Amino acid sequence: MFFQKDNKTFEINMDNIPQHIAIIMDGNGRWAKKRALPRKAGHKAGAETLEKIIGHCSKLGVKHLTVYAFSTENWKRSQEEVDAIMDLLRQYLNVYFKRFLKDNIRLRVIGDRSRLAQDIQESIMENENRTKDKDGLCVHIALNYGGRDELCRAVKKAAKDVETGNLKAEEITEDVIASYLDTADVPDPELVIRTSGEERISNFLLWQVAYSEFYFTDALWPDFTDKMLEEAIYDYQNRERRFGGR
Ligand code: FPP
């Protein structure tokens, strides 16, 4: 597949598409501010961008896409903004996601969903069940997600298993720890993209990004395009990955 940039043509190697791409969708607020719109308008535009990018990942043959939609820290935002994001999420689960049915797309949620409203929890379960046999792109939405919180929950579960005799302390390996995480059966992301010029991990997938390649772009999330995704993949494909070896 080819894309154009600065009058040059670049080719993406379709045999080396990352299996798992993770995205920190940052910059919705700034996008809205630039247009003198309320922050929630930025999130709405961000949700539309997400729909496009899900479609493009599916077309490119990406197997897993994890997106950071709401962090454990995001509850500190104004009630109005939290409510607006939650309403978008309802819409996503009830409207946007239905459109993906024909595309063989699966939905999963990572994070501590117990703090989400009851109707949202039910809608998540319904979508997860309805799409569980789809074997195309799997979209993982991180909701009330924090990497440290995920590790705490995993350690608690493992400690309970040690208490009940189902796990022995000396049996704990990296694979065992990974099996207690929200991403238990999902390969680690090869590529992590963050938009809006910020270059931080912000408590996203702390365990899983140990060997990921990072790609930062100044584009604000609502302005992120299919072509920018292709540029990120091209950049990834032209890096040398050594995993600590030589
Ligand atoms: C970060 O931008 C974005 C968020 C905290 C929310 C992400 C939500 C969406 C992309 C849309 C909703 C999608 C679903 C599935 C609910 P920011 O608000 O921190 O932007 P800023 O740094 O410019 O203020």
pLDDT (tens digit, 9 = 90+) per residue, 29-64?
A: 999 999 999 999 999 999 999 999 999 999 999 999
Task: Quickly tell me which residue has 């043509």 as its tokens.
Answer: 9
pLDDT at position 152, please?
98
pLDDT (average), residues 204-211: 98
Which one is predicted more confidently, 123 or 8? 123
The pLDDT value recorded for residue 3 is 80
Beta bridge partners of 191: 21, 213
Secondary structure element (H or E) that encloses residue 23, with its range: strand 20-24
Is 69 near ligand 1, meaning CB less than 6 Å away?
A: yes
Q: What pLDDT score does 103 carry?
A: 84
Q: What is the DSSP letter of 174?
A: H
**Ligand 1 near 93 CB (within 6 A):** no
The residue among 199 and 242 whose pLDDT is bigger is 199
From 52, 85, 199, 218, mutation site for ligand 1 pocket: most ligand atoms within 8 A of C-beta: 85
Contact 24, 69 (CB under 8 A): no
Q: 30 in ligand 1 pocket by Cβ < 6 Å? A: yes
The residue among 165 and 98 whose pLDDT is bigger is 165
Given this model, what pLDDT does residue 97 score? Answer: 76
- Whether 94 is catalytic is no
Question: pLDDT per residue over 99-127, tens digit each?
Answer: 777 789 999 999 999 999 999 999 999 99
How would residue 246 be classed by pLDDT, with cut points 50, 70 and 90?
Answer: low
What is the structure's pLDDT at 198?
Answer: 97
Ligand 1 atom showing the smallest separation from residue 42 Cα: 18
* Helix axis angle, 39-60 to 79-91, nearest 10°: 30
**Has residue 94 got a pLDDT over 70?**
yes
Angle between helices 118-130 and 79-91 (to 10 degrees): 30
Is position 218 annotated as part of the catalytic site?
A: no
User: In the prediction, which pLDDT does 188 show?
Assistant: 98
What Cα–Cα distance (Å) separates residue 71 from each residue in 28, 77, 141? 14, 11, 11
Q: Compute the average pLDDT of residues 152-181.
A: 98
Instruction: Read off the amino acid at residue 20.
Output: H
CB distance 138 to 108 below 8 Å: yes
Length of the chain: 246
d(CA 113, CA 145): 8
DSSP bridge pairs for 138:
64, 106
Residue type at 98 in one-letter notation: K
